[in-house]
Amino acid sequence: MLTKKNKHIALKVKNLSIGYTSKKGQSIVASHLNMEIEKGAFVCLLGKNGIGKSTLLRTLSKIQPFIDGEITLNDIPLYDYSANELAQKISLVMTEKLPESNLTVFELIALGRQPYTNWIGKLSEKDIEKINLSMEQTHIEHLSNSKFYELSDGQLQRVLISRALAQDTDIIILDEPTAHLDVQHKMETFQLLKNLAEKLHKTILVSSHEIHQAIQSATELWLMTDEKLIVGKPQELIENGNIEKLFTSENIVFNKKNQQFILKNHETSVK
């Protein structure tokens, strides 16, 4: 087991401030953020709507510039990477709706190989091997020739994860990957991501509202609150009471036995 001294830190953030800059000035969403992700970790980012989870993920992936602080990827400043170099280090699974097209599942996943293909985008034998392997790893080989618009939400989510795997990056960032899925597919998606981190040693960062699934699956939680970002292992955050800071309402409490938030004096859990 790696010690704290020699563990591999894949992504590190120091005194980070995130938000937006316009002609009217700066609008800071969150500041003084400090955290790091160890290679092979499965980290879940939790927080209420509008708290800045998506802004943080876009900032960490260089889609959106940060206002202040430092972000390093494998001990190299994030902004020292070119767009193509970064695409070989970080892959993204975002919530935006895919544009209309007649792409098959194989063709959609093949887009993950763009950082490696030549200028005409021709797939090499290695590219095809990576695509086929990614479909095996997500158990969607049988969907290869299907049109992506024919898929269920659960199937499409696996295809997008497969595309990220085909991109062959050490880090995969996902923004609300289970937002439109039913309970079964939510559970299966979390189990898949957990397996990818454990078996393939992928570093996975996912934002979610699925608190119970995050507690059960993640190696570490990032709790984004109005005051600060709290980092820790799930059971530690439960025992020290920090998990309860996700909600400020006195009518919502955390049930340690069920590991879910519930309405006070009610049995209804907050998903």
At 121, is the pLDDT very low, low, confident or very high (cuts 50, 70, 90)? confident
Q: Is the pLDDT of residue 6 over 70?
A: no
CATH of the domain at 42: 3.40.50.300
Q: Give me the mean pLDDT over the 33-60 stretch.
A: 96
Indicate whether 115 and 21 sit together in one domain.
Answer: no
CA torsion sign for 101, 132, 171, 215 is positive
Q: Is the pLDDT of residue 1 over 50?
A: no
Cα-based angle 148, 217, 8 (whole degrees, multiple of 5): 95
Segment 190-237, tens digit of pLDDT = 999 999 999 999 999 999 999 999 999 999 999 999 889 999 999 999
| 33: exposed, middle or buried (Cβ count in 10 Å: 0-12, 13-18, 19+) | buried
pLDDT value of position 131: 97
Q: The domain containing residue 158 runs over which residues?
A: 96-168
Indicate whether 9 and 129 sit together in one domain.
Answer: no
Q: Torsions phi, psi of 80, nearest 5?
A: -85, -15
Indicate whether 158 and 189 sit together in one domain.
Answer: no
Indicate whether 53 and 187 sit together in one domain.
Answer: yes
Segment 244-269, tens digit of pLDDT = 888 877 778 888 888 888 887 765 55
What is the value of pTM for the model shown? 0.91
